Amino acid sequence: MISPARDAALDILLKVEQGGFASELLHSERLDRLTAQDRALATELVMGVLRWRSRLDEAIASHSSQKLSKLDPEVLESLRLGSYQIGFLTRIPAHAAVNDAVELVKRKKKKSAAPFVNAILRKLLAKKDLLEPVLAPGPKTIPEVAELYAHPLWLVERWAAQYGIEAAERICVHDQQVSSTAIHITDAGVETELKAGGIELAPGRLLHSARLVTNGDVTKTAAFADGRVHIQDEGSQLIAMLAGRGQRFLDCCAAPGGKTSILAERNPESDIVATELHEHRARALRERLAARHNVTVMTADAANLSLPNHFDRILADVPCSGTGTLARNPEIKWRLTTDDLADLSGRQVAILRSVLTKLQPGGRLLYSTCSLEPEENESVVRKALEESGYQLTPVAEDLSALLDEGILVVTDVTALIDGPFLRLLPGAFGTDGFFAAIISRA
């Protein structure tokens, strides 16, 4: 009998290859039928295969008589599942990994490929070192970093050029690890309730209002079910804090609503308009923010908003490549191209120019992404500032104000700053990567 976890993992990997996102699929009904143990294993298998895909493919290709691009998706994903277990999960019996991979291709009506899958995985059993490149001590070259940590060479080259080879390696190391689960808490009663329910929490590394879940499943708690606690990366929480306080807020591209919720919590007397392009996401946003009576959700294109120019605070957390979130979304690194970056940059400039016109004189806008790429960050801000009447405001003063307010754990705000911008590189404080810039209207 095939392990339910491996069966579910293969189904999810095939959907990811068709354009799905693992983070969503791993919380879909497909996994609700599994035991907690099988669900955890399915998650580890899916994320492990996606994180280490290039290493797995290189090992598989070394024993394959066919090019991997010629293999049916069901066959290739079964091979990746089997090789990941052989090379990275020592607690999984090797025979179980091989046998299930063979049975999976049979179940997917690829019975003729079963001997092929069996032969390759048994060869890998004899040569596990193919999955474990050994590098000489000392500094590594960019190609060595890309191979060792299973990242596309072009991405590592970009990061090394912008941040240095050592920082690029730290980013890659972070991307290959399981991300910490962070939540935002301002109600001591909720924290007490979670702990009483067996959820173990640790202090945040960036924010005093953040907690890290060190043990237990917070998604199974009543507090999570009724919306009193949400999972949100600490870097994302900081972006919402940095948006500041005001009377009339515009939060464009607001879904899934974590930042909007913090804006509403910090500005209970303010009017907040949250816009979202897609109706189904706007609907989910309304449901999540139903208890926030000062928030109005609109379905609208942020690049073409029909709203008055009376907002004194705007948060433009725009759609981006997500290269700062590869630890949570590893499939992005295998899909992304430089053409995508150009397309995203054009869309981001259009959004930023549009929403700047909704800013009242003296107002401030926070532009943010979870990207590491300059085309989506500094370049977008500079193009938007070509419009007269707007100026870049360094983030240092606002971060110092958050420190004085007792919000930041970090006491040296210069660690968060790159010139006039906020820059969080993945892993620096255990967070995803984020960029932010403050633009003021004269």
CATH number at residue 69: 1.10.940.10
Q: Is the same domain home to 197 and 271?
A: no
Per the annotation, the verdict on 370 as an active-site residue is: yes
Write down the pLDDT at residue 32.
84
Q: Is the same domain home to 56 and 119?
A: yes
Write down the pLDDT at residue 51.
97
Write down the pLDDT at residue 264.
94
Q: Is the same domain home to 35 and 120?
A: yes
Handedness of CA 378, 379, 382, 384 (dihedral sign): negative
Write down the pLDDT at residue 116.
95
Q: Which of 172, 252, 253, 370 is catalytic?
A: 370
DSSP of 302-362, one letter per residue? GGG----S-EEEEEEE-----GGGTTT-TTHHHH--HHHHHHHHHHHHHHHHHHHTTEEEE
- Please count the structural domains in the chain: 4
Write down the pLDDT at residue 364.
97
Write down the pLDDT at residue 135.
66
Q: Is the same domain home to 87 and 205?
A: no
Q: Is the same domain home to 309 and 407?
A: yes
Q: Is the same domain home to 263 and 171?
A: no
> Which residue range forms the structural domain that includes residue 217?
181-225
Residue 136 lies in a domain: no
DSSP of 400-415, one letter per residue? HHHHHTT-BS-S-GGG
pTM tops 0.75: yes
Write down the pLDDT at residue 441.
94
**pLDDT tens, residue by residue, 11-27:** 999 999 999 999 999 98
Write down the pLDDT at residue 91.
81
165, 200, 225 — which closes off a domain? 225
CA–CA separation, 105 vs 125, rounded Å? 19
Q: Is the same domain home to 90 and 125?
A: yes
Break the chain down into helix, strand, coil percent, rounded to 5.
50, 15, 35
- Cβ neighbours of residue 171 under 8 Å, at least 6 residues apart? 159, 163, 372, 425, 426, 427, 433
Q: pLDDT under 70 in the chain at which residues?
A: 130, 133-137
Residue 52 lies in a domain: yes
Write down the pLDDT at residue 291.
85
Residue 140 CA, distance from chain mean position = 26
Tokens at 394, concatenated = 């360094």
